[in-house]
A and B are shown apart, each in its own frame.
Chain A
Amino acid sequence: MKSAEIIMQCLKKENVRVVFGYPGATVIPIYEALRKSDIEHVLVRQEQAAGHAASGYARATGKVGVCIVTSGPGASNIITGIAAAYMDSIPMVVITGQVKSSLIGRDVFQELDITGAAESFTKYNFLVKKAEYIPKIMKEAFYIARTGRKGPVLIDIPVDIMDEDIDDFEYPQTVDIRGYKPTTEGHVGQIRKIVDRIKNSRRPIICAGGGVILSNAEKQLREFVEKSHIPVVNTLMGKGAMNEDSNYYIGFIGTHGFDYANRAVESADVLILIGSRASDRTTCGIGSRFAAEADIIHIDIDPAEIDKNLNADIPVVGDIKIILEKLSRMICPLDTEKWIYKIKEWSENSDPDENSTEKVNPKIILNKISDLLENDVILTADVGQNQIWCARNFKILGDRKFFTSGGLGTMGYSIPAAIGAKIGCPDKRVVAFVGDGGFQMSMFELGTILEKRINIIIVLLNNSGLGLVREIQRNNHFEEFEVNFEANPDFVKLAGAYGLLARRVENNVEFKKAFQEALYSDKTFLIECIVDPLENTF
């Protein structure tokens, strides 16, 4: 059997049904094996999108996303996709072709040291030196990607190795990497300490981060909250962990969060950080002064995140799902009525967001669609004002999910991620929000949408520029510079050229009409919303 066919067999053993990729010279043997297999291949239009699509697929399905790209420029193009997955801890295996083994290091055509380049933003990477190592490498790669703190793993395979003949193929049953033993069970003593500390707290608060979602622990979190009566705030990556129609849900915190939610954290006496790394976005850059009044309980699967940004009074390393289950069994309900009432008072007295009256108001339309959409919709957001508007105004109910590039903040994430999500969950509705900047960074993926008939709704918030950068310039009293698109293409015509249905809407009423049309359409729909350039995130 050719090595390339063995690679396909390994993918099948790992339950891979779809790969996202873009062929090139050094991956032709793999593509030949792929053609003969029954694994679906999604041809993207640029390799960065393969990374983002695999990310959307992984987040939607809980499986490991897989990409196949060629050497040289293919590998360098997917770097951003890999780094974005690394920063948000998304499980992914990226297979890159490499030039012939004997030519490595000679600067030949389309040669790039991807294993060296991607070192700092892959969980691990492999350069295959012998074809017989492939089954073990594949087994280990998938294991590393989906265990512990999840993340991207890269496998660089020289083209001559892909073409080698191997006699027998045995897929390893077990993995044993002596330097990698992630802790999943939380320490019982620490968990008991948590219960004791919480028992005596008067103003406890839970901060749910992306880790809750990566651990598939939404149900466990919600059960814990119902049992303990502790109010919940979320980080950007944690949006989706807690259902936002719960009495215990407070709001989104951080630099672009709600001030009453930030105030709740500031006033808490116990802060339970679950699956959040307390990034500078979450702590508003104040570092260790975050939640200064509170004892901090930090539950995370990555021990390196504990005590990195905040001092943890009670740290617990482990799988959030397992730890929350244990906590739920041991916790008794607290009397948090007065505390929650006070926080709700703050929220009622806080300044409402500014609302423009004429053009489409993203905050209002997001509220509207929160009522119109199903309880298992997947919403993707790009980066910038569109992302913040979604984070602040889209309501998470039931099983709704929200995907965005939080850690790296990569523009052009939304549309390919929505493609990946739809391919992973074809029966769910997927809506992608994107700005005119992010759209132009990813509009080539309309080609993938056309070819694969990906039925999603794209809401393009067109404020003729890079909204958030512009807002920051304004806030700093700088003159706007290079943040305005003096000329944008006719996006509706462009979408039409790609076979999409498209509407341009100039106000909220027109939007509602167009959105309802999109909901009932069985074709991919793009709604271009004209948004006032002066519209702020809040």
Chain B
Amino acid sequence: MENHSGVLSKVAGLFSRRGYNIHSLTVGITGDPTISRMTIVSLGDDYIFEQISKQLNKLIEVIKVTDLTDVPAVYRELCLVKVSANSKYKLLIMEIVNTFRGNIVDMDEKSLTIEITGDEKKISAFLGIMKYYGIKKIVRTGLTAIQRGNKLEDNVGVK
């Protein structure tokens, strides 16, 4: 979509107005600074998806809509989580973090702040384990995605 102020609010407004669900939403600039790419995860049936896609296309700032539902793609989301960790459990937690290829980004006597990226399954699995130790705060970005392979679903944003 066009990289104009207000476009994000238009898309979010469209979803809420028509009762479509937004499970998560991320947006960022592409290779072309006048174009941004927004990735939305939504839950619904075929009819709802067709309607979402058509209504989005009607928005003049939207240049192209791609449905990644059944397309092989790489999904990533970033999660920052603050976990209770006294001296007894710190090392154990750090082992788990390494297994998940995460990073410790902050630490004090009572807690560890961990940064982890991955698809939804990996993040959920990690958080499931961390729950046992006591999660103080979770901050998640929501999914973004890129199609696998050489074929591009669109060549928007390539300069």
Residues of A within 8 A of B (CB): 119-120, 123-124, 144, 177-180, 302-304, 307-308
Whether A179 and B62, one on each chain, are in contact in the complex, defined by CB atoms closer than 8 angstroms, is: yes
CB contact under 8 A between A179 and B59, given known A304-B54, A308-B51: yes
Q: Mark B49-61, 1 if CB is under 8 A from A, else 0.
A: 0110011011111
Sample of 7 more A-B contacts, CB < 8 Å, known A304-B55, A304-B57: A144-B60, A178-B2, A179-B63, A304-B51, A307-B47, A307-B50, A308-B51
* Total contacts A-B at CB 8 Å: 30
- B18, closest chain A residue (CB): A120
**Complex-state Cα separation, A177 to B50, whole angstroms:** 23
17 A-B contact pairs sorted by A residue (CB < 8 Å)? A119-B13, A124-B60, A177-B60, A178-B2, A178-B63, A179-B1, A179-B2, A179-B60, A180-B60, A303-B57, A304-B51, A304-B55, A304-B58, A307-B47, A307-B50, A308-B51, A308-B54
- Indicate if B10 sits at the interface (CB-CB under 8 A): yes
Chain B interface main SS type = helix
Chain B proximity of A242: nearest CB distance (Å): 29
**Complex-state Cα separation, A124 to B6, whole angstroms:** 12
B61: A residues at CB distance < 8 A: 179
Q: Mark B2-28, 1 if CB is under 8 A from A, else 0.
A: 100000001001000100000000000
- A140, closest chain B residue (CB): B60
Give the 10 A-B residue pairs with the shortest CB-CB distance, closest first: A304-B54, A179-B63, A180-B60, A124-B60, A179-B60, A179-B62, A178-B63, A179-B61, A304-B58, A120-B17
A180: B residues at CB distance < 8 A: 60
A308: B residues at CB distance < 8 A: 51, 54
Chain B proximity of A111: nearest CB distance (Å): 18
- Which residues 95-145 of B have a CB within 8 angstroms of A? none
Whether B50 and A120, one on each chain, are in contact in the complex, defined by CB atoms closer than 8 angstroms, is: no
**Complex-state Cα separation, A340 to B58, whole angstroms:** 39
**Complex-state Cα separation, A177 to B1, whole angstroms:** 12
- A306, closest chain B residue (CB): B54
- Which residues 21-73 of B have a CB within 8 angstroms of A? 47, 50-51, 54-55, 57-63
Chain B proximity of A303: nearest CB distance (Å): 6
A123: B residues at CB distance < 8 A: 60
A144: B residues at CB distance < 8 A: 60
**Complex-state Cα separation, A272 to B13, whole angstroms:** 34
- B58, closest chain A residue (CB): A304
A178: B residues at CB distance < 8 A: 2, 63
CB contact under 8 A between A119 and B54, given known A179-B62, A179-B63: no
